[in-house]
Amino acid sequence: MRTPAANAELALLLEAAAAPTPGNVDRYRDHPDLALSHFLAGAVGARAGLDAAAAGTPTGEAFERSIEGMSHQAGGNTQFGALLLLVPLVRAAADDALDPKGVDEVVRSTTVEDAAGFYRAFEHVDVRVDDPPPDLEPLDVRRGADAVPAVEHRGLTLRDVLAESADTDGVAREWTNGFERTFETAGLLAGTAVADSPDPSIDDAIREWLRRTDDVLDRAARVHLALLGDRPDSLIATAHDRATARSVSDSARQLLSGLPETPPDADAIEAFADDLVDRGINPGMTADHLAAGLFVALERGAIDP
Amino acid sequence: MRTPAANAELALLLEAAAAPTPGNVDRYRDHPDLALSHFLAGAVGARAGLDAAAAGTPTGEAFERSIEGMSHQAGGNTQFGALLLLVPLVRAAADDALDPKGVDEVVRSTTVEDAAGFYRAFEHVDVRVDDPPPDLEPLDVRRGADAVPAVEHRGLTLRDVLAESADTDGVAREWTNGFERTFETAGLLAGTAVADSPDPSIDDAIREWLRRTDDVLDRAARVHLALLGDRPDSLIATAHDRATARSVSDSARQLLSGLPETPPDADAIEAFADDLVDRGINPGMTADHLAAGLFVALERGAIDP
């Protein structure tokens, strides 16, 4: 059996290799300065921090270690958001409580010191984020460790910090809602009913299409497309604008619109993937949700490469 | 910095993703029952055994643990031979002695109990091997743990066992000659003079072509082709016959024959790769040497994804 940390690392690798995942680095596509090899090295490098999370190291410190390790490759930020989801999920799994309630307990137990670890993680890698509103400028994550005194002064836990971004950042939002999208994604990957998501947002015709392949990388790629079509990607909104994020989501949904009668055209999906890479559009939030969902599905034995 | 075990795992991942590596699973190609996802899971699964090797666990036991972990995926034997090279190399690296002399000391220090661990590893996975000569039938590795009493009776160390196959198995041979091919491969990957290989068998025109790319997966793929063209693959000889192994090696060498003036035709290499996959021909020895060479190059900082 793989340990939770090993499954988290494998989830990162499967996410990186799944293809086509339009706009993201995948088995068949690199971005000009961001390549599959960077994701492989990032996943391996993150392992020590994931092991630490499983062993009970405080969440902020384990997260910082995972980011520090991830950063030992030339591609820059490969898996920051995915690790922000995986570290508490690994901890919940190590506590034998990998469900929305269990991971919510992990994030609700975070402290001011965990928030400091989160800020220190930004010292290791450049992460694309929105400008904060003026009153939150002292808490700008790009200040890295320099923001820690302000965090301590305000007495913010790591969950408090992330809650500030929950409206605009689809990864931060997971920390506030019991990792709803993560568990929904795990259900999509498993091809089963989604016990943890009573109100699934992906319709039955798409779910049925996801189940039509047993290949783990193929199914992961289908889930990526379904997620992208279901909800605009917050990283695209940050890196470009909200209209671009909506437009990309609309395009993804359009590719799936012929279901259940007409499966999506494989060539059209490939062309969409090539187009997003050409335009430098990278749905990183969707990739992060996919990685987190892959971890839960691996832990539950719902997928087994 | 990545630990030796992390670099060994990354070497397995880079080997799996490098493309085109004709006949092997690669970034762009799966075999019918053996897919990239199996290699990703195999590498992650092997990590605990590699960590054990670095921590000083006896070589046979660490090897068995790496194979047991590797086997938790649906593809069967993904990286048996590569791990037989990596486990002693990781141990040498952890001892700060990653050179031919250092790894030779590791393998010369193996015991009868290490040999028993090697035999037990065969309990976890099916490995394609030649029939032994009649007098060695009690030592047939396919007997797994059942062969251990015969190994103990004869007092064979793990190096002794592998020395029996050195003439016909290019992985076993490494154990008897200071990992000559591994260090030569590392030099090819580094694109530098090969300090550890005074008599390199790959000619200058090919070496110069290897240096023409800085992309780590591309360079690894070029090295794979150069190795395959330089020497018939012993796994092809075992799985098919020696004539097939020679013919595949001849084809690989032919693709490189226009150097230095004419670089190999990329479409012809892709076609060669597709053809070998179609024929079920898998140069596993070459892949094992590449993985071992990638590890040494990573440890030395000669490549840095």
Is A27's Cβ below 8 Å from some Cβ in B?
Answer: yes
pLDDT, position A203: 87
pLDDT, position B29: 94
CB-nearest to A40 from B41, B69, B305 is B305
Residue A102, H or E segment:
helix A100-108
Could B40 and A305 be called an inter-chain contact, meaning their C-beta atoms sit closer than 8 Å?
yes
> pLDDT over 70 for what percent of chain A?
97
pLDDT, position A53: 98
Is A74's Cβ below 8 Å from some Cβ in B?
Answer: yes
Could B40 and A10 be called an inter-chain contact, meaning their C-beta atoms sit closer than 8 Å?
yes
pLDDT, position B128: 87
A 243-302 residues with CB < 8 A to B: none
The ipTM assigned to this model is: 0.96
Give this prediction's pTM.
0.97
CA distance B62 to B68: 10
Residues of chain B found within 8 Å of residue A29, distances taken between Cβ atoms: none
- Give residue-wise pLDDT tens across range B48-106: 999 999 999 999 999 999 999 999 999 999 999 999 999 999 999 999 999 999 999 99
Residue B290 in tokens: 């590449």
Which chain B residue's Cα is nearest to A45? B2
Nearest chain A Cα distance for residue B216, angstroms: 8
Is B71's Cβ below 8 Å from some Cβ in A?
Answer: no
Nearest chain A Cα distance for residue B26, angstroms: 9
What sign has the CA pseudo-torsion A64, B48, A74, A83? negative
- Give residue-wise pLDDT tens across range A261-274: 999 999 999 999 99
Nearest chain B Cα distance for residue A134, angstroms: 38
Query: A263: alpha, beta or left, given left = phi > 0 and alpha = psi -120 to 50?
Result: beta
Residues of chain B found within 8 Å of residue A270, distances taken between Cβ atoms: none
Short-list B226, B295, B291, B296, CA closest to B254: B226
| Helix segments in A18-76, DSSP class H | 36-55, 59-70
> pLDDT over 90 for what percent of chain A?
92
CB-nearest to B216 from A28, A37, A215 is A37
Is B23's Cβ below 8 Å from some Cβ in A?
Answer: no
What sign has the CA pseudo-torsion B221, B223, B224, B226? positive
Residue-wise DSSP of B159-222: HHHHHTTTTT-HHHHHTTTTSHHHHHHHHHHHTS--TT-SS-SS-HHHHHHHTT---HHHHHHH
Nearest chain B Cα distance for residue A62, angstroms: 16
Is B36's Cβ below 8 Å from some Cβ in A?
Answer: yes
CB-nearest to B44 from A2, A41, A74 is A2
Reported as half-sphere exposure (CB side, CA atoms, 13 A), residue A222 has a value of 27
CA distance B156 to A267: 58
Residue-wise DSSP of A259-280: TTTSPPPHHHHHHHHHHHHHTT
Q: Which of B1, B7, B9, B13 to mutate to test the interface with A (most CBs of A within 10 A)?
A: B13
∠ CA B92-B67-B223, rounded to 5°:
60
What sign has the CA pseudo-torsion A99, A104, A105, A106? positive
- Give residue-wise pLDDT tens across range B4-36: 999 999 999 999 999 999 999 999 999 999 999
- Give residue-wise pLDDT tens across range B248-280: 999 999 999 999 999 999 999 999 999 999 999
Could B1 and A72 be called an inter-chain contact, meaning their C-beta atoms sit closer than 8 Å?
yes
Q: Is the pLDDT of residue A195 over 60?
A: no
Nearest chain B Cα distance for residue A72, angstroms: 7
Residue A152, H or E segment:
helix A148-154
